[in-house]
């Protein structure tokens, strides 16, 4: 579950990041994207705590890919801080979405033997 907690924190960061990078030129197009993406990251991470939707973190892979590609293709090089933030957070979401929800628990065969 620790990876889902990190995804919650990254979603919170996405929501507040437009206010941190408020001096970025063309920030208006990043505000809506960041707030919606942050809300979705939080939603997917919270859904993983419910056993029926424990694989909702796989939707975070798509969200992370969207953020990274939007940050990369939305601005000329070098990108403004808001675009660089989207790339980094998107890549981090992809990495943490690959971590299984029960990664802190021992493997299934080990649990059955004890």
Asked if residue 57 is part of any domain, the answer here is yes
Query: pLDDT-derived band of residue 38, with 50, 70 and 90 as boundaries?
Result: very high
* pLDDT at 23 (0 to 100): 76
CA distances from 19 to 35, 58, 78, 91 (A): 11, 28, 21, 21
Asked if residue 110 is part of any domain, the answer here is no
Cβ-count burial of 88 within 10 angstroms (0-12 exposed, 13-18 middle, 19+ buried)?
Answer: middle
Domain span including residue 26:
2-102
* pLDDT at 78 (0 to 100): 84
Residue 30 has pLDDT above 90, yes or no: no
Question: Which range (3-17, 29-43, 47-61, 93-107) has the least confidence?
Answer: 93-107
Asked if residue 107 is part of any domain, the answer here is no
* pLDDT at 5 (0 to 100): 93
Query: pLDDT-derived band of residue 103, with 50, 70 and 90 as boundaries?
Result: confident
Residue 114 has pLDDT above 70, yes or no: no
Residue 54 has pLDDT above 90, yes or no: no
Asked if residue 111 is part of any domain, the answer here is no
Asked if residue 108 is part of any domain, the answer here is no
Residue 27 has pLDDT above 80, yes or no: no
Question: Structural domain tally of the chain?
Answer: 1
Asked if residue 51 is part of any domain, the answer here is yes
- List Cβ<8 Å contacts ≥24 apart for 68-71: 68/94, 70/33
54: DSSP letter: T
* pLDDT at 10 (0 to 100): 97
Taking only the tens place, the pLDDT of each residue in 80-91 is: 888 999 999 999
């Amino acid at each position: 579950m620790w990876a889902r907690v990190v995804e919650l924190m990254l979603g919170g960061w996405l929501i507040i990041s437009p206010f941190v990078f408020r001096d970025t030129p063309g920030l208006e197009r990043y505000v809506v994207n960041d707030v919606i993406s942050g809300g979705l990251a939080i939603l997917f991470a919270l859904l993983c705590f419910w056993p029926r939707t424990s694989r909702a973190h796989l939707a975070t892979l798509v969200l992370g890919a969207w953020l990274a590609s939007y940050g990369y293709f939305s601005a000329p090089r070098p990108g403004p801080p808001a675009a660089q933030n989207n790339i980094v957070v998107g890549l981090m979401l992809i990495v943490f979405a690959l971590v299984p929800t029960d990664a802190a628990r021992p493997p299934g065969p080990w649990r059955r033997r004890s």
